[in-house]
Amino acid sequence: MNNDHKFKRGLMTGRFQPFHNGHLALARQALSECDELVIVIGSAQFNFIEKDPFTAGERVMMIHAALAEAGVDLSKCYIIPVANDENNARWLAHLRSQVPSFDALYSGNDFVDHLARSQDPSLAVKRPKFTKRQEYNGSNIRSLIVAGKVKGWKHLVPPAVAKAIEDVGGVERIKVLARSDSNPARW
Amino acid sequence: MNNDHKFKRGLMTGRFQPFHNGHLALARQALSECDELVIVIGSAQFNFIEKDPFTAGERVMMIHAALAEAGVDLSKCYIIPVANDENNARWLAHLRSQVPSFDALYSGNDFVDHLARSQDPSLAVKRPKFTKRQEYNGSNIRSLIVAGKVKGWKHLVPPAVAKAIEDVGGVERIKVLARSDSNPARW
Amino acid sequence: MNNDHKFKRGLMTGRFQPFHNGHLALARQALSECDELVIVIGSAQFNFIEKDPFTAGERVMMIHAALAEAGVDLSKCYIIPVANDENNARWLAHLRSQVPSFDALYSGNDFVDHLARSQDPSLAVKRPKFTKRQEYNGSNIRSLIVAGKVKGWKHLVPPAVAKAIEDVGGVERIKVLARSDSNPARW
Amino acid sequence: MNNDHKFKRGLMTGRFQPFHNGHLALARQALSECDELVIVIGSAQFNFIEKDPFTAGERVMMIHAALAEAGVDLSKCYIIPVANDENNARWLAHLRSQVPSFDALYSGNDFVDHLARSQDPSLAVKRPKFTKRQEYNGSNIRSLIVAGKVKGWKHLVPPAVAKAIEDVGGVERIKVLARSDSNPARW
Amino acid sequence: MNNDHKFKRGLMTGRFQPFHNGHLALARQALSECDELVIVIGSAQFNFIEKDPFTAGERVMMIHAALAEAGVDLSKCYIIPVANDENNARWLAHLRSQVPSFDALYSGNDFVDHLARSQDPSLAVKRPKFTKRQEYNGSNIRSLIVAGKVKGWKHLVPPAVAKAIEDVGGVERIKVLARSDSNPARW
Amino acid sequence: MNNDHKFKRGLMTGRFQPFHNGHLALARQALSECDELVIVIGSAQFNFIEKDPFTAGERVMMIHAALAEAGVDLSKCYIIPVANDENNARWLAHLRSQVPSFDALYSGNDFVDHLARSQDPSLAVKRPKFTKRQEYNGSNIRSLIVAGKVKGWKHLVPPAVAKAIEDVGGVERIKVLARSDSNPARW
């Protein structure tokens, strides 16, 4: 372990729909305190739905590209999609089965914090320093994309993510998914 | 292939809760352009819930009876229930594993259209000609049944469907399901 | 069979989030009419979500303790968690595969009543005599816990349940789950 | 109901890997005793494995074509894929949720017979008259295909099935699947 | 906690196909060392298959009856069916979500022992004192039932279990399941 | 794209129980022909079973460490666990939803080759040059570990993998899993 680092391996989790500058700031924070970082892409089984437009694979690609662009050392990073598990009481055990071992969890979410503490009181839970959550928020970014103003959302995500969204036709996709008939339940 | 037909086999998909005259019109349109037609009953695993009152089997029976009544040649039709798959990115591959091969998709739904085009750009997607979607709509028909006025809904579905609904006690069922305590989540 | 009893074995079902005095009254009613009672804990796979805060195991413990405290003979009771099944048409068959055979179903829920009658018309369905459902209702009790007034909810549940909720940190848990970021879908 | 018919609707079930002359004989027997026939394609979720080479959709197509070729009236037939359910005790309820109602089950399998009788003693269970099960047997036919002698297997299946197998590259597929590395568990 | 008891609550797990005298001896041993005992019925979702003939509900009934017959205080016992989880690394977390908390695990199985120690080194794992595993073994008992000699198996199970097996037609069922065509994969 | 490279992104898949020198050779081969490489860890949901002893997370760690040790540029690699999908006909679509897009598949397995060609004839499928499959084979390596001779297996895996296996207690684990009572089906 690097002597300047408090932890061997940190972990952060999110749906990353899409990965934005708030996420990138948290990754940087974690890498300043940990030797390595695991980034867990949650809800990996979902895609092409309104709140989960991108596939797990597209999200892996976005995050990888954004970290590379930001000069992060990718040999210290693990980017891993994990499907949801409906039984929250085994959340930590489920997560641990899918990722390398970790000794710090980075999360600004009270619920994740609560789950982690109730399932392993010895696990360090660290809060994000960067917290403009109103603005840097997947739901907000998707709404801005639907609203159709490029200036509205592009500054909120790393350039590599904006490019990846456009490369996969993500703007059009998010607009289609926002329409009322995009819910298979309504077919 | 019939020389008058553009396609070998068309496919239309829906939840058919219940199968109505708009669906029947689309089936006729498809059969005027295709040698054969596959009708996929989606959400096959659901039933006895507010927006999915009928079982897959009851829906098979309704559609079969409605087509027979309408004089459609059933030897050219395949009526196939398919359970939902949570991973939309494999929607077309999932569908194709459950039905005979098809070369045209009939759908008035932008989302289905988008999914199909993104997963196989070579697949023909055809729009319905009959489009009073406000009225010919499962949700609207179920609401009219709950409202309890026979004249309100019976003209929207083929007579064979109205009969099938009554044979299985569907009017009573839809009313029970519309009550606030019908959601198992609330028990 | 006890000569005073109409049924060999009754069954009642609920999510029991938490088990309250209305549930206890129904258990007593059933035991006055049946030799034995099966208590089915539904949605057994869910926990640590807003409407399902307690694990199946915690609910088993609450119910067991509440019955013991109330002087109920536990050798006549079966407390069994059952995970939900998405296909309602096989609800009764699913339930029967998980519990000892039963000849009476106790339920105040029209939907459960409808499911049971449609799947086995010979099964007796009995209504609860105690019916202050507005007050004795899991959703109401959880709201009172969030509101934070002990006097508001403790009289609605058996003392053993109140103690069990506190032993597992349930008050804090329910408050965390009620916050807007507790839904994994929003991570 | 046709006066000559004992039953309104019969049901036969199988994996149909592939549909062979024994199956066709059973379908004819059922249609001589019932107004209509439901043919359930079991293990609908499996394909491209050694004992389940064909997709549900390919099997629908084979059966449809074989019945048409044999002059069977398809307006009296329902061909429905059903995925397996791991809980056998709800087998009949699961099946009933996916198919039109039926009053006779055609099966030469003791286990199916036992399941049916234990779940609904009132359901008629009928035995096949045609019973060269040693030869008319999916496993035997697949082995003959692997052995590579056309004369070995073609007379065991309806011509339309032999054609369908060849149209989808089924001979090559069955051979690949028979090789030792075809089991994903061994990758 | 009883002063004579080392543990608050012990847990033993098995498929109990069927519950035999070895299991009963282990339950007695646990109750001599713990205030309470949880008996987990594994593979709860399986039944009517060769190695899992009885439903979870039938097994609950057998165990409950056997304990009552043996004079065990049922107010100290929890009999809980648990469906398998394919991800062994979360086995203990899965189990804990379904049962009351426990501080000792009773198991004669090296694998269970290994799983438990690797997932919670602080959990006490206790070995059975009674260990004629060759004879007191579900697989052996089912074989003896198939062989058809009552004297062969009845002395291996508590009388209440023998009676329960006969009440549900278990002897006939086990024989049917042992036949070669009882495997749905072979239909 | 590097001018020397034929493909933008290659993909190789395996269970990697454990990752051995044959896998490493294939990764090197792919990286000599592709700009980037995706390594898919199959059967991600399994662990602590005889043929799948290591968790997905442990396998991620092993592969990452082995590539780093071999001097591979990790910024060009994606190591992604993917759970099995029972429906092989949607295998490629399932895979594509979980990983970055790829234009070459590296596989020495006839079945994978067949699946890939049948689902996307335009995808390049490349064979491994290094092919001592008898020796460099997970099953063989696990057997050697059970046999207990360090010299037998260590030279077959990268040193970082041997170290990772020992760090997680893998030798002991594999031995326990090889014993006859390690199968939960036999509890």
Q: What is the pLDDT of residues B8-41, one digit of tens each?
A: 999 999 999 999 999 999 999 999 999 999 999 9
**Residue F32 pLDDT level (bands cut at 50, 70, 90):** very high
Nearest residue of C to residue D97, measured between CA atoms: C89
Question: Distance, in angstroms, between F23 CA and closest chain A CA?
Answer: 19
Q: Which of E162, E160, E131, E158 is nearest to E145 (CA)?
A: E162
Residues of D in contact with B44 (CB under 8 A): 98
**Residue A181 pLDDT level (bands cut at 50, 70, 90):** low
Residue range(s) defining the domain that contains residue D149: 7-180
The rounded distance, in Å, linking the Cα atoms of A7 and A30 is: 9
Nearest residue of F to residue A83, measured between CA atoms: F83
**Residue E2 pLDDT level (bands cut at 50, 70, 90):** low
Nearest residue of E to residue C100, measured between CA atoms: E57
The rounded distance, in Å, linking the Cα atoms of A16 and A47 is: 12
| pLDDT recorded at residue B2 | 59
CB F141 within 8 A of CB F156: yes
User: Which position has the higher pLDDT, F57 or E132?
Assistant: F57
**Residue B185 pLDDT level (bands cut at 50, 70, 90):** very low
- The answer to whether residue F89 neighbours chain D at the CB level (below 8 Å) is yes
Main-chain phi, psi angles of E179, to 5 degrees: -75, 155
Q: Which of F90, F91, F36, C185 is nearest to A60 (CA)?
A: F36
Does any domain span residue D2? Answer: no
CB E123 within 8 A of CB E116: yes
Residues of A in contact with B139 (CB under 8 A): 186
Do E81 and C80 make contact, defined as CB atoms within 8 angstroms?
A: yes
Question: Distance, in angstroms, between B27 CA and closest chain C CA?
Answer: 28
Partner residue opposite C110 with nearest CB, options B181, B184, B185: B181
Segment holding D67, helix H or strand E:
helix D56-69
| pLDDT recorded at residue C2 | 58
Question: Distance, in angstroms, between C48 CA and closest chain B CA?
Answer: 15
What's the whole-number mean pLDDT along residues E6-23? 97
User: Which position has the higher pLDDT, A2 or E64?
Assistant: E64
Does any domain span residue A29? Answer: yes
What's the whole-number mean pLDDT along residues F141-147? 96
Residues of A in contact with E96 (CB under 8 A): 89-90
What's the whole-number mean pLDDT along residues B90-102? 98
Residues of E in contact with F185 (CB under 8 A): 15, 43, 51
Q: Which of C84, E91, E185 is nearest to A90 (CA)?
A: E91
- The tally of CA atoms less than 13 A away on the side-chain side of residue A105 is 25
What's the whole-number mean pLDDT along residues C61-78? 98
**Residue C183 pLDDT level (bands cut at 50, 70, 90):** low
- The answer to whether residue F49 neighbours chain A at the CB level (below 8 Å) is no
CA distances from B71 to B76, B167, D33 (A): 12, 22, 25
Interface test with B, best of F85, F87, F90 (most B CBs within 10 A): F90
User: How many other C-beta atoms lie within 10 A of the C-beta of residue B4?
Assistant: 8
Nearest residue of E to residue F49, measured between CA atoms: E88
CB A178 within 8 A of CB A146: yes
Buried b (16+ CB within 10 A) or exposed e, E27-39: bbbbbebbbbbbb
Do B90 and F89 make contact, defined as CB atoms within 8 angstroms?
A: no
What's the whole-number mean pLDDT along residues B2-9? 84
| pLDDT recorded at residue A18 | 98
Residue D185 clears pLDDT 70, i.e. is over it = no
Asked if the ipTM is above 0.90, the reply is yes
Sign of CA dihedral F2, F3, F5, F10: positive
What's the whole-number mean pLDDT along residues E173-182? 85
Interface test with D, best of B97, B102, B163, B167 (most D CBs within 10 A): B97
High-pLDDT (> 90) share of chain F, %? 86
Does any domain span residue C186? Answer: no
Q: Which of C119, C96, C39 is nearest to E54 (CA)?
A: C96
**What letter would DSSP give residue C52?**
B
Residues β-bridged to residue A156: none
Does any domain span residue B184? Answer: no
Q: Give the position of tokens 């019925």.
A: E41
- In tens, the pLDDT along C38-50 reads 999 999 999 999 9
Count the domains in chain E: 1
Do F47 and E89 make contact, defined as CB atoms within 8 angstroms?
A: yes
CA distances from E141 to D111, E64, E145 (A): 21, 20, 6
All residues at 6 or more sequence positions from A42 whose CB lies less than 8 Å from its CB, including other chains: A13, A14, A15, A82, A84, C184, C187
Do B51 and A185 make contact, defined as CB atoms within 8 angstroms?
A: yes
Residue E37 clears pLDDT 60, i.e. is over it = yes
**Residue C186 pLDDT level (bands cut at 50, 70, 90):** very low
The rounded distance, in Å, linking the Cα atoms of A58 and B88 is: 14
Beta strand pairing call for E7-14 and E104-106: parallel
All residues at 6 or more sequence positions from C86 whose CB lies less than 8 Å from its CB, including other chains: B45, B46
| pLDDT recorded at residue A186 | 45
What would the DSSP string read from start to end of C3-34? TT-SEEEEEEEE--TT--HHHHHHHHHHHHHE
| pLDDT recorded at residue C185 | 45
The rounded distance, in Å, linking the Cα atoms of D15 and D41 is: 5
**Residue F183 pLDDT level (bands cut at 50, 70, 90):** low
**Residue E132 pLDDT level (bands cut at 50, 70, 90):** confident
Do A97 and F47 make contact, defined as CB atoms within 8 angstroms?
A: yes
- The answer to whether residue A27 neighbours chain C at the CB level (below 8 Å) is no
Does any domain span residue A2? Answer: no
B37 torsion bin: left (phi>0), alpha (psi -120 to 50), beta (else): beta
**Residue C187 pLDDT level (bands cut at 50, 70, 90):** very low
Residue E176 clears pLDDT 90, i.e. is over it = yes
What's the whole-number mean pLDDT along residues C61-68? 98
Residue D181 clears pLDDT 70, i.e. is over it = no
Neighbours of chain B (3+ CB pairs under 8 A): A, C, D, F
**Residue E3 pLDDT level (bands cut at 50, 70, 90):** low
All residues at 6 or more sequence positions from D57 whose CB lies less than 8 Å from its CB, including other chains: B80, B96, B97, B98, B99, B100, B101, D81
The number of helix segments (H) and strand segments (E) in chain F equals: 8, 5
Q: Residue A130 belongs to a domain with what CATH number?
A: 3.40.50.620
Does any domain span residue E139? Answer: yes
Does any domain span residue D1? Answer: no
- The answer to whether residue E72 neighbours chain C at the CB level (below 8 Å) is no
CB E43 within 8 A of CB E149: no
Residues of E in contact with A119 (CB under 8 A): 93
Residue C1 clears pLDDT 70, i.e. is over it = no
Largest CA distance in chain E: 58
**Residue C116 pLDDT level (bands cut at 50, 70, 90):** very high
Question: Distance, in angstroms, between E61 CA and closest chain C CA?
Answer: 6
- In tens, the pLDDT along D67-108 reads 999 999 999 999 999 999 999 999 999 999 999 999 999 998
Euclidean distance between the first and the last CA atom of chain C, given in angstroms as a whole number: 54
| pLDDT recorded at residue D2 | 59
Q: Give the position of tokens 């690797």.
A: E118
Partner residue opposite D74 with nearest CB, options B74, B96, B100: B74
Do D87 and C96 make contact, defined as CB atoms within 8 angstroms?
A: no
Residue D172 clears pLDDT 80, i.e. is over it = yes
**Residue B3 pLDDT level (bands cut at 50, 70, 90):** low
Q: What is the layout of strands, in order, in the sheet containing B124-126?
A: B77-81, B34-41, B7-14, B104-106, B124-126
Does any domain span residue C184? Answer: no
- The answer to whether residue C17 neighbours chain B at the CB level (below 8 Å) is no
What's the whole-number mean pLDDT along residues A127-152? 89
Interface test with D, best of F41, F82, F86 (most D CBs within 10 A): F86
Do E81 and C79 make contact, defined as CB atoms within 8 angstroms?
A: no
The rounded distance, in Å, linking the Cα atoms of B25 and B33 is: 13
Residues of B in contact with C13 (CB under 8 A): 187
Residue F120 clears pLDDT 60, i.e. is over it = yes
| pLDDT recorded at residue E186 | 46
- Please give the single-letter amino acid code of residue A89: A
- In tens, the pLDDT along B121-138 reads 999 999 999 878 788 999
| pLDDT recorded at residue D160 | 98
| pLDDT recorded at residue D123 | 97
**Residue D183 pLDDT level (bands cut at 50, 70, 90):** low
Residue E44 clears pLDDT 50, i.e. is over it = yes
Burial of A151 (0-12, 13-18, 19+ CB in 10 A): exposed
User: Which position has the higher pLDDT, B4 or B161?
Assistant: B161
